Amino acid sequence: MLSLYVTLLVAIIVIYYSCELFVNAIEWVGRKFNVAQCAVGTILAAFGTALPESVVTLMAVAFNSSAEQKDIGIGAALGGPLVLGTISYAVVGLCIIFFRKKRDLGVEIDIDSKKLSRDQLWFVSIFIFKVLMGLFIFSLKPLAGILFLAAYALYFYKEMGAECVISEEVMEPLTFQPQKKNPTVFWVLSQTFISLMLIFISSHLFVKNLEALSISWNMSPLIVSLLISPIATELPEILNAVIWVRQGKETLALGNISGAMMIQATIPTALGLFFTPWLFDFHLIWAGCMTLLSIFYLLLTLKQDKLSPRRLVYAGGFYLLFSCIFFIK
């Protein structure tokens, strides 16, 4: 039992420092390949950090024949957006408050509200369709999976070509070439690849040991898939947010979260539709409802131009509400 706790601690430490390497490298990738800074967060960073949870879903639904494992995959596909839409935004708010004395803007949020609103509207429109797919039985569900992949492809295309309002920010030296003001593409890509591999391996180790720990506590597979695994697999996004907020780059932090939410709304969903019946029970429907309520709350806040660290923290309340009803039922 002690070895499980030690392994979890080591995995978290490795994930954190791997994320430090990753956020440093991915900003340079954006600079080297002339990618708009908003797309660095929503596309490049999100795609990299979303790998662990996508693999969890793929392994559960495609390479396991048991209904229990497929249910875990479906739970992970719903649990990921729930954690991102509640806890991750709350962490950003808490970090802005915690690091306020070290930040040039204090508790003010430097963000393009229209851009963030547009991202959330993309997510909501697709996520509603995702939940509706889980309420009905029909033979063409696998074909619907193709539509979800097409939706992400369209989002990718729009984001890479979108214009965004971003303030000029000083680039930190590349960790692998700290003495160079303009590092080479080779070392930028090398640092990106190595950091992603470290994130992938340590995240996988963390999830496996957390699941083993939950089994030793006699937790049900449903609790593991909806409450335990999603928090573990979303650690890269959460830690990226902590690092970027600390650096005063909440635009990238929020973009990483909203971009990861788009991936979670499409790619794991497509996998679920391809390989499972994709039918929801009460707990899965409840997870979907809480995710939507949290995003509607954020959209309303953005529309009223009242986004603040405190209001971001309030988004975490939807996860607490979900957990309470989850255990009551």
Question: Is the pLDDT score of 158 beyond 60?
Answer: yes
Backbone angles phi, psi at 148, to 5 degrees: -65, -40
Whole-angstrom distance, CA of residue 278 vs CA of residue 142: 10
- What's CA 115's distance to the chain center, in Å? 18
* DSSP 3-state of 253: helix
**What pLDDT score does 86 carry?**
96
What tens digit of pLDDT does each residue of 315-327 get? Answer: 999 999 999 988 8
pLDDT digits (tens, 9 = 90+) for 174-229: 999 998 888 999 999 999 999 989 988 887 788 778 777 777 777 777 777 788 77
Would the pTM count as exceeding 0.85? yes
* DSSP-assigned letters across all residues of 193-234: HHHHHHHHHHHHHHHHHHHHHHHHTT--HHHIIIIIHHHHHT
> Mean pLDDT over residues 142-150, rounded?
93
Token reading at 46: 């999100």
CATH of the domain at 196: 1.20.1420.30
What's the CA gap between 76 and 212, in Å, rounded?
16
By residue count, the chain amounts to: 329
pLDDT at 43: 86
**195-207 per-position pLDDT tens digit:** 989 988 887 788 7
Q: How far apart are CA 78 and CA 282, in angstroms?
A: 12
Show the domain range for 186: 1-166+174-325
Domain count, the chain: 1
pLDDT band at 299 (very low <50, low <70, confident <90, very high): very high
Q: What residues contact residue 182 under an 8 Å CB cut-off, 6+ apart?
A: none
In angstroms, the Cα distances linking 39 to 35, 115, 131, 173, 293 are 7, 11, 27, 20, 26
